[in-house]
Structure 1
């Protein structure tokens, strides 16, 4: 399995993140906390793309989830080695293949498990997970293991199709939302159709929904160029559908 050029394409979004960095279970994590009263026993885990929470886009999105009433945590499951934002620059020679070879599940899953265990110790009993690109792989894995109560992913990467979809149908009881788009090497139109075939039309009893955003490219929900009206609508639509999903199932 590998990533694609669109996994390191996109733009940095404007804004000033308002959350804080804290150690949770020994793992550096960005925490966005609602300013209104919220359920302390629920948390949304925000599983980033390869740029991690160091890219402000992810932190700004986490802040948006907090504004909708969800305490949202971005664990640094990339172990302080997120891809630098410079890889987004035209002409970048960043070697994505070399990077991903150092960030397999043996390296990246343990930090997630530490954060989840520590949050459980604090009294958190229900987790939702939203994953973007690289993070989509871990949404599926956490759903397989029954760790989360609600799953959402936008343009997921590193899935094996149809194997992961079939495994989800056979082993998971976690409602699944997929935010998809027109141009996506990692989760192309054929994979989207296969997801509908396997999970749609009520076949997956816990709950399944797929949103499709025309004219958008892999990465649109977190790194899209917001000067493009279709991309802006796609990013906002994916966020809205994810919030609605968590309101319904988390």
Structure 2
């Protein structure tokens, strides 16, 4: 369900602008406020984006800061549900020393061993957050905000652990209208084939959970639908020099990784502007 690289993190600077609403983080988009600025366009559909976090969940502020950026740039509400319901598995500071921050570094046997020793006592937390459980939580949350906030369209962007959730819920167009998948956790080709909504993929150069052969096969799956009734819009972008986790937890000391992080964020914003607005 998870992957070793989901457990590396670098904390982004700044403080979140949004607030907690019924256990979820919420940032209101500028086009949904009550102001009368020229940026407010009442003809646009009322949309929201749901951000599905990596394995660190809400405690790591990166996801909140990314949600703020997406909300401000797309111009819509962004929510981050707690799909872990408080049962978080690991902390970023526990894992940061264990795994690479860029391509070409490799993972030592000792790092794998240290990860195993840390993970084994937390097997019950992995089980509490197994795919069937977190998927149900994500779907329930999206259904609730659709009904209460009257959103006409909802997109989902998932990182690592959340990227795998985005793939799975992307099989149901009644749940989400568009998805962005950033270096997903473990997924199957069958789950990729079952995606039925527009999908944008942000891929690391090296990714132990989404290896190059599977990444290439995923793109081939989408390309094979061309000129067929089940065709859906898609894109795949690779970020040179990156390792799994770069789009959520970049090493700010490496300019090429920061550039890739910013590129992935821009890709997310542009995709949702294209598919939701």
TM over 0.5: yes
* Structure 2 equivalent of residue 49 of structure 1: 54
* Structure 1 equivalent of residue 141 of structure 2: 115
| TM-aligned CA deviation for residue 90 of structure 1 | 2.8
1:151 correspondence with 2:197: no
2:221 to 198, 213, 218: 198
Structure 1: gaps spanning 5 or more residues: none
1:126 correspondence with 2:126: no
1:187 correspondence with 2:221: no
* Structure 2 equivalent of residue 139 of structure 1: 166
| TM-aligned CA deviation for residue 129 of structure 1 | 0.4
Mapped partners of 1:151, 1:221: distance in 2: 15
Q: TM-score, normalised by structure 2?
A: 0.80
Structure 2: gaps spanning 5 or more residues: 32-39, 99-113
Asked if the contact 1:11–1:88 (Cα under 8 Å) also holds between the matched residues in 2, the reply is no
Mapped partners of 1:47, 1:194: distance in 2: 24
Asked if the contact 2:135–2:168 (Cα under 8 Å) also holds between the matched residues in 1, the reply is no
For the structure 1 residues 243 and 140, does the alpha-carbon distance in structure 2 shift closer, same or farther, using more than 3 Å as the test? Answer: same
What is the 5 A alignment of 1:1-250? 2-23=1-22, 28-36=23-31, 37=40, 41-68=46-73, 69-82=75-88, 83-90=90-97, 94-95=118-119, 98=123, 99-122=125-148, 123-146=150-173, 147-160=175-188, 162-168=189-195, 172=196, 174-200=197-223, 203=226, 205-250=231-276
Higher RCO, Cα 8 Å, sep 6+: 2
Asked if the contact 2:53–2:161 (Cα under 8 Å) also holds between the matched residues in 1, the reply is yes
Q: Secondary structure at the match of 1:222?
A: coil
Mapped partners of 1:40, 1:46: distance in 2: 19
Higher Cα Rg, which structure: 2
| TM-aligned CA deviation for residue 194 of structure 1 | 0.6
Q: CA RMSD in A?
A: 2.0
| TM-aligned CA deviation for residue 223 of structure 1 | 0.8
Q: TM-score, normalised by structure 1?
A: 0.88
